[in-house]
Structure 1
Amino acid sequence: MLREGHLDHPRTRGSCLTMPPSGIFARLTNLHLGCIRLRGPSMLGEAVSSPRCPTLQKLTLSGTSGLGNLTIHSDSLLEMTLTRVHGLQQLNVTAPALKQLEVLSCFTKGRMILILPVANISAPQLESLMWWDDYDPKFTQLSKMENLQCLSTFPFTVYEETDYVRELQNRYCTRLLRRFELIHSLRFQLVNDLEDIITNQQYLMEDITRLPDITFMFLDITGNGHSFGPSSFHLLRMCTGLRKLSLTFCGTTRRPETLCPSGCVCDQPPSWKTKELALNCLREVEVCNLIGTEHEAALVERLFVWATVLQKMTVTFHCSVAESKAKEFCQMLQSFSRPEISMKGATFCLIYSYQSLPWTDLVGNSRCTAGPPRMLCKLVSCAGAGTWWSFCTSHLGINCTTCELQCVSYRIFPSEMLQDV
């Protein structure tokens, strides 16, 4: 009996698939369709709903086309991921047991959108929502999600760009943030792609007027050599109940240690360095992918001041950072610290692209069907305690110490690197 269906292979990419008009897949629990075109009247929603797939628990669609309307009624579905489902205009999901939903770049196009898509999601048990797509409460209906624990939104662009798509993404992001009042953890990304001096570009952070009440924030920052202190301060002052902060610096290889040009206004308003901010609940901070710039040091120094009850800070450096520089940076952080704070560091983080890598599950040595990983980290202890490989998802964090790696996710390794473990 068929238990898993996986159609995503270089030989089948671009192939056409016609859904059978009848038939029951009584044992099917996992279905993954990737890089295919659905031909004829789309009956996918009917095919994966409970009457024909009564035990389906996980559904993944990636890079598919020919699906304008997807309507699913499933009592068994637990996880659902839609990534680049081209041409999707209407999405209706009724799944009382659904725990995890990811919708990425299905409605949004790289041009002006003339027809607003319609989505209606009924998932009262949903715990994790990643919505990187069009969101307008007039057309996107999200039912009560009282069990929602984790939310991930579109990256937010800090300074105005001549890119209409980025403007739309900011709008979707702020709308979604206003939708929820209370969430355990928020995955948020600040992006500054401007490589040159910032002078007259509009500062967009003021568009974010509120955040949900959260206790854990994953904050990813793409600074591109510019300061990210003011934008981080703007967010954190709306998170006074925060208990744990995971801060990751992304895109450090593009301009690894280059500070912004003279006259750049990216550090304004400078009052963020002196204004009071009481993060009286923040007890743990993780700082990942450091390269030791002045901008990084300035933000971490302020975190020590703002977090009055901080108990633990863990730092991880990018692989390009020399061990001597990492130790020097840690010593500087120690000078900011207080005796009651436990400092963990330094470890080194090497980011790999996942494209075109054959992924193998270490346990069982079988092909992984969990979907493409967002990033792969090689973490090497300065003390030589060991080397670990681990996959880190886009919405789950890593907890690195000098002699231990904990990752609440899949343990997946590229097969050609297993000999190095």
Structure 2
Amino acid sequence: MPMLAKLTIRGARGWTTSPSIPILSCKWSSPICAACKELNIVAPALEDLEVTHCFFYDRSQPFAQDHSHSPGNTSWMDPYDPSSHPSWRDETSSILRPFFFIVYGDDSTTHNQSCLCLLRRFKVIEHLILTLTYLWDMDDYHYVMEDMTVLPDIMILHLNILANKHAFGASAFHVLRMCSGIRKLMLAFLAPTVVEAQTTCPPGCICGEHQNWETEHLLLNQLKEVEITRMRGSEHEVTFVKQLFIWGTALEKMTVFFDESVTENVAKELSQVLRSFARPEIRMEIHTYRAMLKMMYIPED
């Protein structure tokens, strides 16, 4: 099939592509019952690669990949080990989505090691999709953001925050400090993994130990646009957005989409608060969840 441009494989235990097939897109996902043993791709024209939970449940076998350059769009939601995983020759990626990073963990956190190893493969990433995760119960863990010591040059940062109602400002600040040259920030607040009646984390939680970020200096003088989705209006969220206005000295536009849980009255109050932070030259667009759905699914006349 010399004209094959896209190939999707699910549930296989091993696969090798022919060098003659100009694969442009490969999406590989494997369920728990069929953990991948080996994946070997020889595809010089590869442009899109997505690997999700193929090696998560069985990491005893190596993964090998051999092609002339790294794929432009890479989503690697799996453990990553440079000794047995691909060593891409290019140092630039168009879109990179590594494994999520756990903010409070221990030295053996596989997710963090995989995330950092993959990030070190590149010097320039046009669009980085990074997820910071707070576990619901963090009593037996410690703050590990210091393990992230450097990031590639990034133009667009898509930062997902799974805070589980914890204070997340310190970890997000840590990331922004290492990529202060970004042009656009896409900030998404993910829904809590555990539905609880309480609206904040337990009193005395360790997430409150690193709050000096609010007084530290940060200059995002290349940041032109900020897009925030699923904002619920918590104190932590409002405080962080306020700081973005201070750090983004060249900010031109901010767009906010409220979460579906935000009522119309609350949305109006939050809108007034957010607009009070903005300088006159900043263009503010604030939308409710229903308005976002309307824009997504109802075409304009």
TM over 0.5: yes
Distance in 2 between the 1:256 and 1:246 partners? 29
Instruction: Please list every run of 5 or more consecutive structure 1 residues that lacks an aligned counterpart in the other structure.
Output: 1-52, 350-377, 381-386, 391-402, 406-421
Secondary structure of the residue that 1:237 maps to in structure 2?
helix
What is the one-letter code of the residue matched to 1:76? P
Aligned partner of 2:71 in structure 1 is 126
Match of 1:247 among 187, 192, 200: 187
Query: 1:88 aligned to 2:1?
Result: no
Please report how far the alpha carbon of residue 252 of structure 1 lies from its aligned counterpart in structure 2 after TM superposition: 4.4
Tell me whether 1:340 sits opposite 2:281 in the alignment.
yes
Does 2:170 match 1:230? yes
Name the aligned partner's letter for residue 379 of structure 1.
M
- Which residue number corresponds to residue 14 of structure 2? 68
Query: What's 1:77 paired with?
Result: 23
Match of 2:171, SS? Answer: helix
Per the alignment, residue 292 of structure 2 pairs with 379
Provide the C-alpha distance between the structure 2 equivalents of 1:245 and 1:256, rounded to a whole number of angstroms. 31
Match of 2:226 in 1: 285
Structure 1 residue aligned with 2:212, among 266, 271, 275?
271
How many residues are paired up? Answer: 297
| Closer/same/farther in 2, CA of residues 74 and 404 from structure 1, 3 Å limit | same
Say yes or no: does 1:186 pair with 2:128: yes
1:303 aligns with 2:225: no
SS class of match (1:141): coil
User: What residue is the counterpart of 2:52 in the other structure?
Assistant: 104
2:85 paired residue among 110, 122, 140 = 140
Q: CA deviation at 1:404?
A: 8.7
Which 5+ residue runs of structure 2 have no aligned equivalent?
none
* Structure (1/2) with the larger helix percentage: 2
Deviation, 1:132, is 1.2
Q: Which moved more, 1:116-125 or 1:334-343?
A: 116-125
State yes or no: 1:54 paired with 2:2.
yes
Contact persistence 2:91–2:123 (CA under 8 A) = no
- In 2 relative to 1, CA 161–209 (structure 1 residues): closer, same or farther, beyond 3 Å? closer
CA-CA distance at 1:179 after TM superposition = 1.0
User: Given the alignment, which residue of 248, 261, 279 partners 1:320?
Assistant: 261
Name the CA distance, whole Å, in 1 between partners of 2:17 and 2:29. 16
Q: Distance in 1 between matches of 2:168 and 2:196?
A: 14
Cα deviation, 1:84-120, whole Å, max 9, x if unaligned, reads: 16332222212122111111111121x7x4x241222
Residue pair 2:182, 2:223 contacting (<8 A) in 1 also: yes
Once the 2 structures are TM-superposed, how far is the Cα of residue 244 of structure 1 from its aligned partner?
0.1
Q: Secondary structure at the match of 1:92?
A: strand
**SS of equivalent to 2:130:** strand
Distance 1:234 1:325 in 2: 30
Measure, in 1, the Cα distance between the counterparts of 2:163 and 2:70: 36
| Structure 1 residues 370-409: aligned runs within 5 Å | 379-380=292-293, 387-390=294-297
Q: Which runs of 4+ in 1 moved over 4 A?
A: none
In structure 1, give the amino acid aligned to 2:48. Answer: Q
Query: Contact 1:126 / 1:147 at 8 angstroms: preserved in 2?
Result: no
2:35 counterpart letter in structure 1: G
RMSD value over aligned CA atoms? 2.4
CA change 1:311–1:388 in 2 (3 A) is: closer
Displacement, 1:295? Answer: 0.7
After superposition, the Cα gap between the structure-2 partners of 1:74 and 1:271, relative to the gap in structure 1 and judged at 3 Å, is farther
Q: In 1, distance between residues paired with 2:92 and 2:211?
A: 39
Q: Alignment identity in percent?
A: 40
- Which secondary structure does the structure 2 equivalent of 1:190 belong to? strand
| Structure 2 letter corresponding to 1:82 | W
Answer yes or no: is the 8 Å Cα contact 1:98–1:123 preserved in 2. Answer: no
Query: Which letter does structure 2 place at the counterpart of 1:224?
Result: N
Structure 1 residues 257 and 181: CA distance shift in structure 2, 3 A: farther
Greater RCO, CA 8 A, separation 6+: 2
